[in-house]
Structure 1
Amino acid sequence: MNTKFLDLLAQRYDSEEKVVTEIINLEAILNLPKGTEHFVSDLHGEYQAFQHVLRNGSGKVKEKINDLFAETLSKEEIDEFATLVYYPEEKLQLIKNGFNNEHELNEWYTEIIEHMIKLISYASSKYTRSKLRKALPKQFVYIIEELLYKTEDFTNKKPYYKKIVQQIISLGQADKLIIGLSYTTQRLVVDHLHVVGDIYDRGPDPDKIMDTLINYHSLDIQWGNHDVLWLGAFAGSKVCLANIIRICARYNNLDIIEDAYGINLRPLLNLAEKYYEDNPAFRPKRQSDEKLSDYEQLQITRMHQAISMIQFKLESPIIKRRPYFNMSERLLLDKVNYQNKEIDINGKTYQLENSCFATVNPDQPDQLLEEEEEVIERLLFSVQHSEKLARHMKFLMKKGSLYLKYNGNLLIHGCMPLDEDGNMEKMIIEDETYSGRELLDVFERNLRYAFANPDVTDDLATDMVWYLWTGQCSSLFGKREMTTFERYFIKEKETHKERKNPYYYLREKEETCRTILKEFDLDPDQGHIINGHTPVKEIDGENPIKANGKLVVIDGGFSKAYQSTTGIAGYTLLYNSYGMQLVAHKHFNSKEEVLRDGTDVLSVKRLVDEELERKKVLETNIGEELYQEVAILNSLMEYRYMK
């Protein structure tokens, strides 16, 4: 090993005792049970529902409360206690309003603090004291540790412990302590969070989800197609930018663009009001509780048309300059008969409805008007100079990847592109052929290059980011075509169909999943593939656990737009030292309902895989890192202290 490196390390471990202590500590940690991993996907801006799942650990918090207090507390008391842990600030106020006098309240404080301490002790049982200390509220670390490590074997210190709690209450610190202990419990119940794609689009609050993730203690992100669209826009792709604005207009979420990220949409509105009128195909989709005035709806409808036409125009030059994208059939503006309002697709002629081609030059349909060019340039400038968006996109790049190998499992948002025979689908890029894991690595390299060079907007890397959104070999899209144009303008639904990659029926076979796991150098006997992206239609009997448990799909419909077809409000996955459990969630109405009624939104837990022997840290990714640290420290011992 490099002696200069060991000399530097010796400055940190400047005595034999320090090296020995650290080796003993790391070796001991390796034999602890592995922490609980929490998998979520396809959040689609649904901040409140995501917050609830995060706070209750997909049922893990209540499970631990039940383990401890099932014999001593009623169901109603357990529900109330669990809700207090989920939403401590709000629930405290509701509970305190129900007491008649200070004495009753103080008695409740004493009891609930004792319950909280027991819960913390139980939830932290597989962690080191050092790790627990880092999770505790800083202002109460000393006090909580005293209460945590008290023993009932001796009575000498009982008055001491009692006085600690009394002083906390009398000094008005009980609320702060309970709030701190609640958040510590949430943190201890889940050791690591995996977000398997699609934080953005459709729902109203992706920015709030991003703020939550930035402050989360341990996580990774596997980019979804919608996330890559936002990354592409920030990286300088005008067509990605047009897509995100179009989707926000379609789902009545332009507030995300304008209010959350401070991007000025006035230039787009001015263009839209000049060229477009009302159009039923472009009216925003709304939830039943959303209110819009006729004027607001008309504004959004016009902007929706304006940005859609800009998008369709921007797609054409990319398709033409990248023939190996194999997307020439998507040059639909070239196929339109503008005089008769007809289009030829696959040898068949269709009538166009709800058309809005006022800015299209029939002789050069992909040519942007000077006004359109100016609008998209101004929008791009605003996007790339939004401080909040920059912070979110940089975090998404830092914590994100197209796929992740973690603790023997493959996490990938969409799919592994396959051909009909189950072989890795090949794609030619600049005369080089790629497939399988290598193809995904090429996609990610291009995305990272585009993000690092936002001033270059028409290079291969930037075009490849858009391809990830809509290309047939994209692991994020997983279809042969995206029929956005047809859905707007053609009545016949046969043109709306988007042919899925063979992966989506071949993944039902165990052998397919085993082949993919081997492609990523994972053990096919032990590993699993974890997908999001495609909502599982549980209402139709679809099973999210596929291929004899080798693959789990956890997109069950966080997005309200999907819930009528899925029948549920999302899946999450838990993986602790005992095995994997899939959790299905009922529709989340509101935080207020949970606070009022103590009801939870969990429905069914299903066993995916049960460990024959309890998994330890030494069998995880973290374990590999700790092994390396131990090896380095042993080298330091030999180099410095065992000569």
Structure 2
Amino acid sequence: MPNVSERQHPMSQPVPDISLKYLNLLAEKYPSIQAASTAIINLTALLQLPKGAEHFLSDVHGEHEAFEHVVRNGAGSIWRKIDGMFGDSMTKPERRNLATLIYYPELKAPLMLGSVADKDEWSRLTLIRLVKFCRSLAGKYRRSTVRNFLHSHLAETMEELLYDQEGVASKAAYYQSQIDTIVATGSTLTFIIALAELIQRLAVARLHIIGDIYDRGPGAHIILDSLMQYHQVDIQWGNHDILWMGAAAGSDACIANVIRFCLRYGNMETLENGYGISMLPLASFALEAYRDDPCALFGPKLPKDHNFTSQEIRLLAQMQKAIAIIQFKLESQVIKRRPHYLMDDRLLLDKVDYARGVMTLDGVEHPLLDTQFPTSDPANPDALTPEEHAVVEKLRQSFVNSRKLQQHTRFLFAKGSLYLVHDGNLLYHGCVAMNDDGEFRAFNVDGESFTGRAFLDRVDRLSRQGYFAIDNPAQKQYGMDVMWFLWCAPQSPLFGKEKMATFERYFLTDKATHAERRNPYYSLRDNEDSARKILTEFGLDPDHGCIINGHVPVKVVKGERPIKANGKLIVIDGGFSRAYQKETGIAGYTLISNSRYLLLAAHQPFESTEKAVSEELDIDTEIEVIHTYPRRMLIGDTDRGRGIQEQIDELHALLHAYREGLIKEHRLDD
């Protein structure tokens, strides 16, 4: 990457060939020579600011408290900066106190104010420290950017505090007067909260979520509410995300999977309280259809501290079996409707001998653990009964009419995609499907073959079609089927396994039938040549770029490393979800990219927000420097900087058109 000094000055570059029609449109925004010149000055200066810190998270799986904490503490970066700035002037308990105040100002500030003898003195000292800390972070941003982060009624005072030169004798009294007046007017809490929130925003310029916001944990809806308020965020969809998106679009197969998954893990919080999805139609049906069936194989997997009664657990099991059978029927219908998915081996219902209670797979008979199928017709096993059909209709209406779910789904489409090319790196959740020989696996549709990037682009577009093509039912159905395909098909770049053995895990004892072999990608990704091949496929420089990947937890307890392919691929799924922490040994990885380093943060489990506030328990985080940049990265070195440079070039063309008389000024500046 070239040094800034090596770049040619924009004024010496030839004026780009831009149509007069476009320049006239641009002139509406910059209606005079002075307006265009000022914009060039401001944008050119912006290129010289340091690149803002970026934070990469993956596989948060509804663990909203841990997610919120890691976002609030900037993956430990706020604590490290407090340590460096106040290490000589504050004790460690005092620094920890300040850190907790910044993370949870609305909860911690009242507790701290209630515990000090001299509230005014504490308020003054705390405000001064927070302002000092804010100033150190604000130096990476333009004033206008910082101003946009401020509450409008506080903006003027906050700007004075942040940019005032208190060291200048004539301003020292002015600065102190501001602090004193904030305290005297009883505004301390308001300004502490505002300063703490500003610190959180300035600490991380952009948040990247590498998939799987949903499932397992109870607060996916809370996480999405937070992301919708975040200042800059992008999302690479995970397999669990696309499943919920498909359900929101109205895919019956996706809806059945979502509900079954929630029932299996006793996690109804997001479904019922978050999105207001009524389970009453399913519960009523299950109680009737499976009233004499204990549904023992379908007992929910609950945490030890659950508070379900035995009757509730039985009902959850009956509901889970009811929706599982509905799911298997609906999925068989999709597979038959889309033969090019090549999933005929997953047509399992017609392989069951219902009279004898056995199933034949690959020529081998397997006894079924459960032989009660009161809603199955052996002659037409994938047909819904009228009662099942009615349940599906009611559930679909609940999903498509959930205002909050639709709001979140539109946000996921607006801010998300299957992959992202960003600053020379490639971000995606699952995989790029490959064959054993390392070549990209082909997917054939109507005689046309799609591989690698082209395939991801195709299914990304079709997924959007499945949600937005409301005026074309056939196109919408095709797209909804693609979202289900992305959830569980062997070719799916989000799933990455040869099959989803849900039926076998429920009904067969033979563990060999439960195996879900991963796509060869997951062994090939350890190889640098494979990673370089993928980077090249997506138009990136394999010498400088890397892949940031999630989906499969890194089992640290077994000696696995998140850095693979000689540093060309980094896996940041380390077990954010409590359900995976026994496998991984930690509680998740996050990645931080600032202007000087690429850092990998390994986090230990988070107990609770309550303990974080009352006992000041932060997440213990170990930081590993993956890469040190040869010089400080500037905005001009980023994709954003290249976009800004394009704007500058266009403005130079407009300036040239004004001065050559090709376009008249729309406004005369004084």
Structure 1-normalised TM-score?
A: 0.97
Q: Does 1:559 align with 2:612?
A: no
CA distance in 1, matches of 2:206, 2:421: 14
Q: Does 1:234 align with 2:248?
A: yes
From 258, 263, 266, give the equivalent of 2:280. 266
CA distance in 1, matches of 2:627, 2:359: 51
The equivalent of 2:80 in structure 1 is: 63
Letter in 1 for 2:423: N
The equivalent of 1:254 in structure 2 is: 268
Q: Which moved more, 1:359-368 or 1:148-157?
A: 148-157
From 572, 593, 600, give the equivalent of 1:582. 600
The equivalent of 2:95 in structure 1 is: 78
From 309, 330, 337, give the equivalent of 1:321. 337
Q: Does 1:569 align with 2:591?
A: no
SS of the residue 2:154 aligns to? helix
Q: Which moved more, 1:1-10 or 1:161-170?
A: 1-10
From 527, 532, 555, give the equivalent of 2:545. 527
CA distance in 1, matches of 2:248, 2:616: 41
User: Residue 597 of structure 1: CA displacement?
Assistant: 2.3
Q: Which moved more, 1:368-377 or 1:556-565?
A: 556-565
CA distance in 2, matches of 1:356, 1:214: 45
Q: Does 1:50 align with 2:67?
A: yes
SS of the residue 1:221 aligns to? strand
Asked whether the 8 Å contact 2:354–2:371 carries over to 1, the reply is no
From 588, 608, 613, give the equivalent of 1:595. 613
Note the alpha carbon deviations across 1:43-77, whole angstroms, 9 max, x for none: 11111110000100101111111121111111111
Letter in 2 for 1:48: E
The equivalent of 1:360 in structure 2 is: 376
Counterparts of 1:145-544 in structure 2, within 5 Å, are: 145-276=159-290, 277-454=293-470, 456=473, 459-544=477-562
Q: Which moved more, 1:572-581 or 1:602-611?
A: 602-611
CA distance in 1, matches of 2:377, 2:433: 37
Note the alpha carbon deviations across 1:537-591, whole angstroms, 9 max, x for none: 1111110111111111111111111111111111111011112111111111101
User: Residue 184 of structure 1: CA displacement?
Assistant: 0.3
SS of the residue 2:56 aligns to? strand
Give the share of equivalent positions with the same residue, in percent: 44
Letter in 1 for 2:216: R
Q: Does 1:634 align with 2:652?
A: yes
Q: Which moved more, 1:351-360 or 1:31-40?
A: 351-360
SS of the residue 2:122 aligns to? helix
Letter in 2 for 1:322: R
The equivalent of 1:5 in structure 2 is: 22
RMSD value over aligned CA atoms? 1.4
SS of the residue 1:468 aligns to? helix
CA distance in 1, matches of 2:430, 2:213: 14
Note the alpha carbon deviations across 1:310-348, whole angstroms, 9 max, x for none: 000011122123222121111111111112211122222
User: Residue 131 of structure 1: CA displacement?
Assistant: 1.2
SS of the residue 1:344 aligns to? strand
CA distance in 2, matches of 1:571, 1:138: 36
The equivalent of 1:88 in structure 2 is: 105
Asked whether the 8 Å contact 2:166–2:175 carries over to 1, the reply is no
CA distance in 1, matches of 2:372, 2:630: 62
CA distance in 1, matches of 2:361, 2:295: 23
CA distance in 2, matches of 1:90, 1:556: 29
CA distance in 2, matches of 1:219, 1:355: 49
CA distance in 2, matches of 1:312, 1:79: 52
The equivalent of 1:143 in structure 2 is: 157
Asked whether the 8 Å contact 2:443–2:491 carries over to 1, the reply is yes
The equivalent of 2:642 in structure 1 is: 624
SS of the residue 1:451 aligns to? helix
Structure 2 regions of 5+ residues with no counterpart? 1-17, 662-670
Letter in 2 for 1:338: Y
Asked whether the 8 Å contact 1:480–1:498 carries over to 2, the reply is yes
Aligned residue pairs, count: 640
Q: Does 1:126 align with 2:144?
A: no
Q: Using a 3 Å threshold, how does the CA distance of structure 1 residues 446 and 353 change in structure 2: closer, same or farther?
A: same
Asked whether the 8 Å contact 1:235–1:453 carries over to 2, the reply is no
Asked whether the 8 Å contact 2:219–2:269 carries over to 1, the reply is no
Note the alpha carbon deviations across 1:385-430, whole angstroms, 9 max, x for none: 1111111111111111010001111000000100001111101123
CA distance in 2, matches of 1:432, 1:197: 29
CA distance in 2, matches of 1:278, 1:612: 65
User: Residue 208 of structure 1: CA displacement?
Assistant: 0.7
Q: Using a 3 Å threshold, how does the CA distance of structure 1 residues 355 and 171 change in structure 2: closer, same or farther?
A: farther
Letter in 2 for 1:146: E
Structure 2-normalised TM-score?
A: 0.93
